[in-house]
Amino acid sequence: MRQRHKIVGASLATLLAGAGVAVLATSGTADAAAVYAVAPYVDLSASSAGMLDTAIASGGLNSYTAAFIIGAGCTPIWGDTLGIDNSTANARIARAKAAGAQAIISFGGAGGAELGQSCTSTSSLQAAYQAVITKYGVNHIDFDIEGAAIADTASINRRYQAIRGLESANAGLNVSVTIPVLESGPDGNGANFLRAAVTNGARIDLVNAMVMDYGHAVADMNAAARTAAAGTLSAAKAAGMNASYANIGITPMIGNNDSGGEVVTLQNARDIVSWAHSNGVGRLAFWSIGRDQPCAGGGVSPNCSGLGGAALDFTKAFTGGSGGTTTPPTTAPTTRPPTTTPTTPPTTPAGATTWVPGHAYKVGDVVTYNGVSYRCLQAHTSIVTWEPPNTPALWQRL
């Protein structure tokens, strides 16, 4: 996720990891019933980490993403630089569990080195990850890979090989990856990162898109989140993953982002949640629980949103005030059905026109593209990269 103890402006080269979600099964199937539908991040090393207790007690939160475990060689440490046996994070996780809230443990983030980078032995790397799983008794883990790590081929391959081993050794383990995205979805590095999962035989249950810090002013962060999620789904499919929106996660940065001109308002958050529910998105998160409180002076802070309002406004918008774990959507099958040729050509709906870029489409318009018909779901002006097959948020295949 973005900078934690010190939030500064970020360039496109260091975009935050996409917030991420349901099951992208490249091989095998994780326990779909255990997917956590709402799991915002909490920086357990920040001074505002105590907000986790408050969110559980009065914000309807019952699942969260604990950030971040990084590496000191092959030793897993928390962001406070303390090992997993004596970190201040342990008491917080124990209290949350006692209160009924379950953790997804997240490795990586914007600061420090993820274990896949700092540990160069695949067997030792798997053992380090396993130590964390065993220590905290979790069956959900997340890998937040951003900055230089998203383009580090050697560590990417090591990490996926270790993940493959973890999945063999831990029945029902759910694995998500969180990656940076543009408004159009992952960049080239992100696309390569997803392809590497398939190449290395690792099952990724959810790709979480960090829909934040795009590097320039964005007028509508809700619209940007929708197109970024659609682009992430397209990238996952292109990588060879049998994915649906149930395998995608959305993670905005609430309030003022550390990229100027980007603000996720409470209404933006509500709209993102509504769209995600309508499209069966697998997981919703945000950065971060500790920031879900107003700032007297505004600005950008790791411990408040920079906006007014009340504490836990965003948490309640995401959970509905009644909890973060919901019945997950049905996940995609583990293999794609074979493509068959219909015995008779499909019928083109009356009034359908050929899809063209640069045209202003309204809800209900019907178009054909490469012999397939689509109905417009959201009014928009089409561009070349938004053809119907690549943007299920905008078009419904008929």
Task: Say how many domains are in the chain.
Answer: 2
185 shares a domain with 85 = yes
The amino acid occupying position 12 is L
In this predicted structure, what is the pLDDT of residue 56?
Answer: 96
178 is a domain residue: yes
Residues 6+ apart with CB under 8 A from 114: 70, 71, 107, 108, 143, 144, 145, 149, 155, 159
330 is a domain residue: no
Give the integer Cα–Cα distance in Å for 144 and 76.
15
379 shares a domain with 244 = no
105 is a domain residue: yes
Residue 184 phi/psi, 5-degree rounding, is -95, 0
Residue 329 phi/psi, 5-degree rounding, is -70, 160
174 shares a domain with 231 = yes
Helix-helix angle 221-238:266-278, to 10 degrees: 40
In this predicted structure, what is the pLDDT of residue 237?
Answer: 97
Give the integer Cα–Cα distance in Å for 158 and 255.
36
Q: With H, G, I as helix, E, B as strand and everything else as coil, classify residue 217.
A: coil
367 shares a domain with 308 = no
368 shares a domain with 245 = no
Burial 107-117 (b: 16+ CB within 10 A, else e): bbbbbbbbbbb
pLDDT in tens, 208-258: 999 999 999 999 999 999 999 999 999 999 999 999 999 999 999 999 998
We report the CATH number of the domain holding residue 272 as 3.20.20.80
Q: Determine the structural domain holding residue 67 and report its residue range.
A: 12-319
The dihedral formed by the CA atoms of 199, 203, 209 and 215, expressed in degrees to the nearest 10: -30
The stretches in the chain having pLDDT less than 70 are 1-35, 321-348, 378-379, 383-395
Beta bridge partners of 180: 17, 210
In this predicted structure, what is the pLDDT of residue 183?
Answer: 98
In this predicted structure, what is the pLDDT of residue 388?
Answer: 66
217 shares a domain with 361 = no
Largest distance between two CA atoms of the chain: 68
Q: With H, G, I as helix, E, B as strand and everything else as coil, classify residue 256.
A: strand
174 shares a domain with 26 = yes
pLDDT in tens, 52-84: 999 999 999 999 999 999 999 999 999 889 999
Give the integer Cα–Cα distance in Å for 324 and 223.
23
Task: Tell me which of 319, 336, 371 is where a domain ends.
Answer: 319
357 shares a domain with 263 = no
Is the CB of residue 130 less than 8 Å from the CB of residue 105?
no
167 shares a domain with 119 = yes
